[in-house]
């Protein structure tokens, strides 16, 4: 019987695109949905949100989209950000209530000579550099209190989930049945391939992953070349195969990873169609140069 991590990987192998990208996106979707469904007032969750000042831009807007699409409302998001907004206002109010800080001797000197001219001060040599590095920063107290103390908690969670799947994939790659399932998938994007190789325990595992990647990327390289060649005037009448037309989208996914759910729907649909097109690509196709690949 498969363990849950292996089952998750095997199921992801069946879907278009990089399986680790898919698993990361799925973990983010589940976390954000569960947060809105039952954890908005959870103490540990709220503490993380206070320390991270909410979410990164991508996950903040994805949270909004999930609540809107599932509940047609914004109550959960509103509760989270009402608390954060109040805390920011308190910090700003504390700053305004502070008495103006008196200037020290160095600050007075820099103001007199133009504190905005740090580059000019540095030209004075060692003394100028020393003075420039000690130029007053009137917002320092405020900035230290407005700055997040942690990363976006969803990014942290997604990274941990992703790392777990990659570690397990590298361990299981020695199993013949697991290899067969992986070989039937679309393979890893380059960012995840690099990380999977770093987890590989033997040279055999490394060589196998590299060999499978070569087999999957070679047709893409040929299709990209044909896609470019058939844009030339002299070859414009040659048939343009669907896999060639989709090659540029496939190439972006290879180097950058799969588009997540924070991107426009049209982008994700174009990528999905390109992945399906590649899955239906003939195993052996004639090339413009007369060569053939298996």
Look at residue 133 in the predicted model and tell me its pLDDT. 56
- Alpha-carbon span 148 to 49, nearest angstrom: 9
Q: How many CB atoms lie within 10 A of CB 232?
A: 9
Name the residue among 119, 122, 121 with its Cα closest to residue 110: 121
Residues (pLDDT < 70) of the chain are: 1-2, 101-137, 284-294
- Alpha-carbon span 144 to 56, nearest angstrom: 19
Provide the whole-model pTM.
0.80
Diameter of the chain measured on Cα atoms: 80
Quick: pLDDT tens for 160-204: 999 999 999 999 999 999 999 999 999 999 999 999 999 999 999
Look at residue 142 in the predicted model and tell me its pLDDT. 85
- Alpha-carbon span 55 to 61, nearest angstrom: 9
Look at residue 113 in the predicted model and tell me its pLDDT. 54
Look at residue 286 in the predicted model and tell me its pLDDT. 46
- Mapped onto helix, strand or coil, the DSSP state of residue 292 is strand
- Alpha-carbon span 119 to 142, nearest angstrom: 25
Find the DSSP H helices in 230-264: 242-245, 247-256
Quick: pLDDT tens for 224-244: 999 999 888 888 888 889 999
The per-residue b/e assignment along 6-32, b for 16 or more CB within 10 angstroms, e otherwise, is bebbbebbebbbbbbbbbbbbbbeebb
- Mapped onto helix, strand or coil, the DSSP state of residue 193 is helix
Q: Domains of the chain: which residue ranges?
A: 4-89+150-173, 103-137, 203-293
- Mapped onto helix, strand or coil, the DSSP state of residue 285 is strand
Query: Could you tell me if 131 and 121 are in contact, meaning their C-beta atoms sit under 8 angstroms apart?
Result: yes
């Amino acid at each position: 019987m498969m363990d849950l991590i292996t089952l998750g990987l095997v199921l992801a192998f069946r879907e278009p695109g990089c399986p680790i990208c898919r698993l990361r996106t799925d973990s983010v979707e589940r976390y954000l949905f569960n947060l809105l469904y039952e954890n908005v007032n959870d103490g540990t969750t709220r503490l993380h949100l206070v320390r991270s000042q909410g979410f990164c831009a991508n996950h903040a807007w994805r949270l909004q989209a999930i609540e809107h699409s599932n509940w047609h409302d914004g109550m959960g998001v509103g509760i989270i950000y009402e608390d954060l907004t109040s805390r920011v206002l308190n910090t700003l109010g504390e700053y305004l209530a502070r008495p103006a800080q008196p200037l020290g001797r160095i600050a007075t000197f820099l103001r007199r000579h133009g504190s905005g001219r740090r580059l000019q001060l540095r030209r004075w040599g060692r003394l100028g550099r020393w003075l420039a590095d000690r130029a007053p920063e009137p917002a320092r107290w405020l900035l230290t209190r407005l700055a997040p103390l942690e990363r976006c908690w969803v990014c942290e969670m997604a990274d941990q989930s992703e790392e777990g799947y990659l570690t397990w994939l590298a361990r299981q790659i020695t199993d013949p049945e697991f290899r067969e399932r992986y070989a039937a998938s679309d393979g890893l994007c380059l960012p995840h391939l690099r990380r999977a190789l770093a987890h590989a325990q033997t040279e055999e595992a490394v060589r196998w992953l590299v060999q499978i990647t070569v087999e999957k990327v070679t047709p893409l390289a040929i299709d990209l070349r044909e896609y470019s060649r058939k844009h030339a005037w002299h070859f414009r009448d040659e048939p343009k195969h669907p896999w060639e037309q989709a090659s540029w989208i496939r190439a972006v996914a290879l180097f950058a990873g799969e588009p997540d759910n924070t991107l426009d729907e049209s982008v994700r649909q174009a990528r999905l169609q390109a992945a399906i097109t590649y899955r239906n690509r003939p195993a052996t196709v004639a090339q413009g140069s007369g060569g053939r690949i298996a």
